[in-house]
Amino acid sequence: MLLHLIDLPAEFTTGVEIMAKRLNFSTAVTGIPVTVTANTENHLVVACDGTSGAISYASQASFFRGLTALHHALQAGETLHTDESAAFNEAGLMVDMSRNASLTQSGVEDMLALSAQLGLNSALLYMEDVYAVPEYPYWGYQRGRLSQEELQAVDDFGAALGIEVIPCIQTLAHLANPMRWPFMNQIRDTNGILLVDEPKTYEFLKTIIQAATAPFRTNKVHIGMDEAHELGRGVYLDRHGLVDRTEIMLRHVRRLTAITQELNLHPIMWSDMWFEAAGYGYYDPQVQFPQSLKEQIPDVDLMYWDYYHEDQMIYDQLIAKHKELGRPVSLATGCWTWNGIAPNYGKALNTMNAGMAAAKQAQLDTVYATMWGDDGGETPFTSAVLAIQNFAEQVYHDTVSADELSAAFTRYQDKDAADYLALNDFDQLPELTPGNPEATNPSKFVLYEDLLSPLFAANTESVDLLGHYRQLAKTLAGIEQKPMTDPYQQHVFAFYTQLAQVLVLKLTMMADIRRAYDDGNQQRMTEAIAALTGLRSALQSLRDAHRACWFDLASPFGWEVMDIRYGGLLSRIDTVQWRLQHWVEGAIEKIAELDEPQLLLGEVNKNSVMRGLYADIVTVSKISGV
């Protein structure tokens, strides 16, 4: 397709070249005429009659949203007229780079280009230790860290698309990974938490803040500081005795803001520790902030993170409570890429819609959609694109219905919402409350739990896992056969189709082994032993499909953990076959793993069959440690 973009601002040219490659169009004076004009009324107006078009934009980012919509209409031979207004001055994704799946430069740029398609104008890169700090060569060592040059290139890429790229780091807690290195021993309080009031701590922090911010145009920096629950309870306690954590927190934030002020930076922090300082839980709307606390909080913006509530009233109350602290407040909602091995669309859409409605009502300036990668970054970010679309539509519209989201997903990403919503069924069981409100993750524990001694077997006795995953495998096989031009989309559905098939095979194998053993049927057990070879082959195919998704965006560093997890599954099959064969041959009379009673873990209810991280699922034995 040829487009003639009339009166295109010169500063948009590089961004148009980026989007031309992504959307598959070219520009020439002989192309379809598209008039480009700026407006000062915060409106994005796009018109297309099939032979010509017009885009009236309020910002660079909104222009690229308009260009994407116009391109789709011309390609589809449709007429189009849209008139939208962004409800926020700043809106974007927060991409987790720190849970093993650290994005490469090109991976970050892909996420920025998608953001531009949807009209988002900001991005937070969550980097605990995955940015290069020349003074500390072990900082980010073998973690997929990005160099100063790569981060500068990312910033240039974002700027070309009208996106402000902001480093999001940690300056108090969540530093367990780099604390494995001896150079951090002298500034450690407890595991993952820095030692407050130690001069060397602030020398270190100034250095890493300079390194993290130097590649970027913006003067903003997110300094983290969330979930420092053990603050002052380690080396600090040994040195100073028991000191009120509020006092420790205030002193530390003052020292940090002095550094950011010296460096002409504008700091932002997660807000939860101020609730703890007041003696309340983070999401307690009854919190009462002491006047003394309000008066002492330094000059730092507060980011309220909440991906859990589905009732707008709770967000309304908590935003109001944040405002009592007298600092600018923003909201971070979530795409639920950390539920397990598949995205939790039910939880993402329900919580995001409630939070965004509250943010609009409270007239907040800034919102983000977080894409965390807890427990190894197993869920590909490319599988969560419908949640990202929903976030963008919430930015540009007062409300978003399911039909409106589906239409927007087609317009801006050329994808079918129903296909991606099918991924929700990995963890949304028919017997449980719709929306998966407690984030149960049966697909993850079925994948990883032991063939002979599954830890969650008692939890799932009342649900039909095998029947459910058989139906899902059939659904996904049909989706995978659809024509797809996006290679990331192809990889996503190849991976999840194979995952569903592996879950069916594994559940079948586990049932067959148990039945053969209980019945004392050596012939049936021999057949099960042979069938396990098929499961091994299916798991190898699953690993390969998962690997393709990973390497679409992420660094090779971190994938070795997934190799270890898949390798454990494959090796366990060998041992299980060996054990079962001994029983068949009469070398052993009992299989202790199958004789062990299956106990309930946690509380099973209408919302959940429980959830687990990898280490919670595979064994109750110690995986590593003294």
- CATH number, position 106: 3.20.20.80
Do 495 and 608 reside in the same domain of the chain? yes
381, part of any domain: yes
411, part of any domain: no
pLDDT of res. 447: 98
pLDDT of res. 222: 98
Distance CA 152, CA 349 (A): 33
**In 102-199, beta strands by DSSP E:** 122-126, 164-168, 188-190, 193-194
CB 72 within 8 A of CB 414: yes
SS3 331: strand
Q: What is the phi/psi pair of residue 596, to 5°?
A: -65, 130
Do 389 and 473 reside in the same domain of the chain? no
366-371 and 329-334 strand pairing: parallel
pLDDT over 90 percentage in the chain? 99
Q: What mean pLDDT comes out for the span 223-231?
A: 95
CB 336 within 8 A of CB 348: yes
- What tokens does 238 get? 């040994």
* Residue 540 confidence (pLDDT) above 90: yes
- CATH number, position 537: 1.20.120.670
* Residue 50 confidence (pLDDT) above 90: no
Q: What mean pLDDT comes out for the span 238-256?
A: 95
- CATH number, position 36: 3.30.160.230
Distance CA 124, CA 111 (A): 11
Packed helices 385-396 and 105-118: angle between N→C axes, nearest 10 degrees: 40
pLDDT digits (tens, 9 = 90+) for 270-324: 999 999 999 999 999 999 999 999 999 999 999 999 999 999 999 999 999 999 9
Do 59 and 207 reside in the same domain of the chain? no
Average pLDDT of the chain to the nearest whole number: 97
What single letter denotes the amino acid at residue 102? S
Shortest CA distance to 536 belongs to which of 478, 451, 604, 413? 451
Do 68 and 209 reside in the same domain of the chain? no
* Residue 219 confidence (pLDDT) above 90: yes
CB 434 within 8 A of CB 421: no
416, part of any domain: no
Token pair 């819609």 is at which residue? 353
Distance CA 378, CA 561 (A): 10
Q: What mean pLDDT comes out for the span 64-83?
A: 97
CB 456 within 8 A of CB 442: yes
Instruction: Mark which of 52, 85, 118 sits at the end of a domain.
Output: 85
Shortest CA distance to 501 belongs to which of 463, 470, 543? 470
408, part of any domain: no
pLDDT digits (tens, 9 = 90+) for 363-418: 999 999 999 999 999 999 999 999 999 999 999 999 999 999 999 999 999 999 99
Q: What mean pLDDT comes out for the span 525-545?
A: 98
Alpha-carbon dihedral angle through residues 441, 447, 450, 453, given to the nearest 10 degrees: 50
pLDDT of res. 86: 98
* Residue 357 confidence (pLDDT) above 90: yes
H-helix or E-strand spanning residue 566: helix 559-584
Instruction: Mark which of 25, 50, 85 sits at the end of a domain.
Output: 85
Do 191 and 317 reside in the same domain of the chain? yes
Do 110 and 73 reside in the same domain of the chain? no
Q: How many domains does the chain have?
A: 3
Instruction: Mark which of 35, 56, 85 sits at the end of a domain.
Output: 85
Do 70 and 113 reside in the same domain of the chain? no
Do 95 and 165 reside in the same domain of the chain? yes
Who's near 187: CB < 8 A, 6+ residues apart? Answer: 194, 195, 198, 200, 201, 204
Do 332 and 436 reside in the same domain of the chain? no
Q: What is the phi/psi pair of residue 147, to 5°?
A: -75, 165
Distance CA 199, CA 197 (A): 6
Q: What is the DSSP code string of 20-82?
A: HHHHT-EE-TTSEEEEEEE-SSS-EEEEE-SS-EEEEESSHHHHHHHHHHHHHHHHHT--EEE
- What tokens does 589 get? 């009379």
CA angle, residues 68, 72, 73, in degrees to nearest 5 = 120
Segments forming the whole domain that contains residue 150: 90-399
Packed helices 245-262 and 199-213: angle between N→C axes, nearest 10 degrees: 50
Alpha-carbon dihedral angle through residues 185, 191, 197, 198, given to the nearest 10 degrees: 0
Do 372 and 490 reside in the same domain of the chain? no
Do 238 and 117 reside in the same domain of the chain? yes
264-295 burial code (b ≥16 CB/10 A, e <16): ebbbbbbbbbbbbbbebebbeeebebeeebee
- What tokens does 349 get? 């859409």
